[in-house]
Structure 1
Amino acid sequence: MASTAPKPISTPDADPPVWLGWLPPRAQAYACLARLDRAAGSWLLFWPCAAGLTLAGGLVTHWPLIFWFLLGSLAMRSAGCVWNDIIDRKLDAQVARTRDRPVASGAISVRAALAFAIALSLLGLIVLLQLRPLAQGVALGSLLLVAAYPYMKRITWWPQAWLGLTFNWGALVGYTAVASPSAAMLLLYTAGVFWTLGYDTIYALQDIEDDAMAGIKSSARALGPRARSGVAVFYALSLTALAAALFAALPSPLSPLAALPLGLHLARQVQRLSDTTPENALALFRSNRQAGVLLFAATAVVGLV
């Protein structure tokens, strides 16, 4: 009889890889703390980096940076999640989906988690050193956004907007790694911010009831029954900014058409959001991994010309 991996320690919304179940429990806890059981976030951090590099025309001339950005996205997303879990440990304990996170549950101490975050950040530093000075300076500018993010749900109804500013900073880093700042770069960043505002609002729908009881603010709670309409507006603004970025990079009436596949994908998400159950919200959120591929493809069509 074929053996199967033991069920890994993980949170309810995770999609853990098979190998995670073979790790010792202590190692599993650290893997979950780094969100290795939920890889979607790393991809959502990576694709803006790759899109920025590609829109600037660096996909061919600086192709090794793609792999460095992939490593950096994994390391820094994990470090950010560890920091988030340290700050949010008391709030996480009050939400069904997050109460089993390693720090909230006590499986990993705050001190050990902080040491782990520092180790992950040192890995990110290795990636930083592969960039030219301009891009290094831009990348360091994201640290304030990362550090402040966990506090946003306490002071604003729109922490998802702050996440958009944070998660798409890689578009600026990728672009400045090979070119000087431009209108196309800023428009691409704007497109990413609204894209994240849309998909993270969908993600927040999973916790809307628990968040209300715990006093956690979110765009999903702010929008309430208008969440679907709100996501549609955010996605429309994202696509408008992306089309403008593509045109700014390559002034041709055909350039904005490269955003069409992504537009169809996002429209399909909005259509399916008529069902706002946690299960459907999670599935739609995860589909943004494919949306990231389409974002990258749109910038490649223009950037490779």
Structure 2
Amino acid sequence: MTTAPIVPDSEHRGLLDRLPAEMRDYAMLARFDRPIGWWLLFWPGAWAVALADGVSERWPLIFWLLLGAIAMRGAGCVYNDIVDRDLDRQVERTRQRPIASGAVSARSAWVWLVALSLVGLVVLLQLRPLAQIVALASLAPVAAYPFMKRITWWPQAWLGIVFSWAALVGWADMAGEIGGAALLLYAGSVAWVVGYDTIYSLQDREDDALVGIRSSARAMGRHVRAGTGACYALALVLWAGAVWQVRPDPLALLALAPVAVHFAWQVWTLNPDDGANALARFRSNRRAGWLMFAACLVVGTTLG
């Protein structure tokens, strides 16, 4: 078996390559060089606004959710790297991260974390009171996430809890409550996150085994394709339930067909032993997010 070269976790290119070296280190610490992360954090909130028929009237909310996703994903990455700096030094893909490599001190990283969190605070103040409360409730699972890989084989499930939270925030801001549709949309997003982050963690299976880091990719073993497919199938079932709550019409469920086809393509073409293949399938979930947003938009705007 030939293993593809490890894709480094931190790369600089494009606009980031033009930044001064010190600024570049902080940009990379917040993963500004890897926008896929904030896209994945943003999408569940955008879905909630679209499914609740709020895109035309509440379009500024979409903007605030996007800005919040960029800032808070960055803050989360900084916090994760502070906690994981010793582990990161032992994994080939992550040893060049700014803190692990010594390019940024832990003290400076805390200052950067506070700055990013202040941007998140500005976004929080744009939300309605219930949505603010829901958003603040996410801080506890966010703080606990970096430790999950040390105590459970399924840290991807905890990441799903965190990365799907915007669905609850967006729905609370739109509807002033969290009903069945919101909970089903959220639960489906959790299953989606477990699926795509299992694919992502395939890149680290060998290093994770040596260091003792647990992951769903290691737990699934040779059944990783079937396991990922099951996660995606569960996500579709739960999303279908959310759609049905909003519009109980079999035709409405057809809106999910494009994202279902995309998931099938991901699983069918996934090569668990090829890191580059796994990374490409993981990144393709940005398209999955667009397809799900289109589905929610179609359903939400045809409520009448």
TM value normalised by structure 1: 0.95
Find the counterpart in structure 2 of residue 91 from structure 1. Answer: 87
2:174 pairs with 1:148 = no
Measure how far apart 1:130 and its partner are: 0.4
The code of the aligned residue for 2:139 comes to L
Q: Distance in 2 between matches of 1:298 and 1:141?
A: 28
2:264 pairs with 1:261 = no
1:181 aligns with one of 175, 178, 181: 178
1:98-152 deviation digits (Å, cap 9, x = unpaired): 0000011111011110110111001000000000000000000100111000000
TM value normalised by structure 2: 0.95
Find the counterpart in structure 2 of residue 196 from structure 1. Answer: 193
Aligned residues, how many?
295
Answer whether contact 2:153 2:216 (CA < 8 A) is retained.
yes
1:52-89 deviation digits (Å, cap 9, x = unpaired): 11112211221111111111000000000000000000
Mapping of residues 13-52 of structure 1, within 5 Å: 13-14=9-10, 16-52=12-48
Q: Distance in 2 between matches of 1:76 and 1:17?
A: 22
2:258 pairs with 1:272 = no
SS in 2 for 1:140: helix
Q: Distance in 1 between matches of 2:236 and 2:10?
A: 29
Answer whether contact 2:224 2:272 (CA < 8 A) is retained.
no
Structure 1: unaligned runs, 5 residues or longer = 1-10
2:108 pairs with 1:112 = yes
Q: Distance in 2 between matches of 1:296 and 1:237?
A: 18
Find the counterpart in structure 2 of residue 5 from structure 1. Answer: none
Answer whether contact 1:172 1:186 (CA < 8 A) is retained.
yes
Q: 1:239 to 1:15 in 2, by over 3 A?
A: farther
Find the counterpart in structure 2 of residue 6 from structure 1. Answer: none
Q: Distance in 2 between matches of 1:282 and 1:14?
A: 13
Answer whether contact 1:160 1:218 (CA < 8 A) is retained.
yes
Find the counterpart in structure 1 of residue 4 from structure 2. Answer: none
Percent identity of the aligned residues?
58
Answer whether contact 2:10 2:94 (CA < 8 A) is retained.
no
Q: Distance in 2 between matches of 1:91 and 1:155?
A: 14
Answer whether contact 1:244 1:256 (CA < 8 A) is retained.
no
2:78 pairs with 1:78 = no
Q: Distance in 1 between matches of 2:64 and 2:233?
A: 31
Measure how far apart 1:167 and its partner are: 0.1
The code of the aligned residue for 1:192 comes to S
RMSD of aligned residue pairs (Cα, Å) = 1.1
2:53 pairs with 1:66 = no
Q: 1:214 to 1:106 in 2, by over 3 A?
A: same
Q: Distance in 1 between matches of 2:50 and 2:127?
A: 15
SS in 2 for 1:58: coil
1:101 aligns with one of 97, 110, 122: 97
Find the counterpart in structure 1 of residue 242 from structure 2. Answer: 245
Measure how far apart 1:47 and its partner are: 0.7
SS in 2 for 1:97: coil
Structure 2: unaligned runs, 5 residues or longer = 1-6
Q: Distance in 1 between matches of 2:291 and 2:24?
A: 32
Measure how far apart 1:256 and its partner are: 1.2
